[in-house]
Amino acid sequence: MHVEPSIVDGAKITLSYATATGALGYTAKIARDMVKNDGAASLAIRALFSTALVFFYFQVLPHHPVGVSEVHLIMGSTLFLLFGAAPAAIGLAAGLLLQGVLFAPIDLPQYGMNVTSLLGPLFAMALVARKIIPAKTAYKDIGYGQALQLSTLYQGGIVAWVMFWAFYGQGFGAANVASVLSFGAAYMTVVIVEPLVDLAVLACVKTLSGLKDSGLFEKRLHATA
């Protein structure tokens, strides 16, 4: 999901500053709400774990350039189910920045676009999760169909944002359209893997019920609403 350098440049890149400001501002809001409910320590520890995992996903797991961007296994739905929306958002933003600063400074000018592409779908997924996961169901007990819906929404949102940036920056020429479509087709294959990862992680979490009150995990992971 890293938009390639030069896809959006010049004055057009200013839009990414605005969208990133909105995404990071909303992250600050939901983080403040979480502190009120769960405390600052819980937010900090979850955000730290989330950041470490995101950095691992971006830097260590296989990732391949395809078309206008790269295909990553980000597992945003996994982060959301384990830690909640605010820690997941902080982890995505911080992990992306850390990876850019330490290993890929060429990606830093695109940070606004990339962080928007990660956080926008996360917030949409968090809203939809309220609809598709009944209040009487703890996250650890969701089924494959629910995990698939969350993953499809998140990954589909990332593809939509990358497509937007590519068409916004380079227009609708045949070469750009082909490059965008090749990226979209390759990226959506992640949807095959992510729900299985979600269910495997949640199966492991069921053995950690002793940590349900530790503040390390999202409350809904082990409890109903």
pLDDT for res 210:
67
**Whether 79 contacts 54, CB under 8 Å:** yes
- The string of pLDDT tens digits covering residues 186-210 is 888 888 888 888 889 988 887 876 6
Kindly report the average pLDDT of the chain as a whole number: 92
pLDDT for res 72:
84
* Range with lowest mean pLDDT among 40-44, 126-130, 188-192, 210-214: 210-214
What global pTM score does this model have?
0.94
With respect to residue 1, please indicate whether it lies within any of the assigned structural domains: no
CA atoms within 13 A on the CB side of 195: 16
With respect to residue 130, please indicate whether it lies within any of the assigned structural domains: yes
- The string of pLDDT tens digits covering residues 145-155 is 999 999 999 99
With respect to residue 122, please indicate whether it lies within any of the assigned structural domains: yes
DSSP string, 63-93: -EEETTEEE----HHHHHHHH-HHHHHHHHH
What is residue 4's DSSP assignment?
Answer: P
With respect to residue 2, please indicate whether it lies within any of the assigned structural domains: no
CATH number of residue 172's parent domain: 1.10.1760.20
Q: How confident is residue 225, by pLDDT bands cut at 50, 70 and 90?
A: confident
**Whether 116 contacts 16, CB under 8 Å:** yes
Q: Give the separation between CA 58 and CA 44, rounded to whole angstroms.
A: 21
pLDDT for res 35:
97
Q: Beta strands 69-71 and 64-66: pairing type? A: antiparallel
| Model confidence at 132: pLDDT above 90 | yes
Note down the domain range covering 183.
10-221
- The string of pLDDT tens digits covering residues 49-91 is 999 999 999 988 888 888 888 888 889 999 999 999 999 999 9
Domain count, the chain: 1
The b/e string for 127-140 (b: 16+ C-beta within 10 A; e otherwise) is eebeeebeeeebbb
**Whether 217 contacts 83, CB under 8 Å:** yes
User: Which distant-in-sequence residues (6+ apart) come within 8 Å of 88 by Cβ?
Assistant: 50, 76, 79, 80, 122
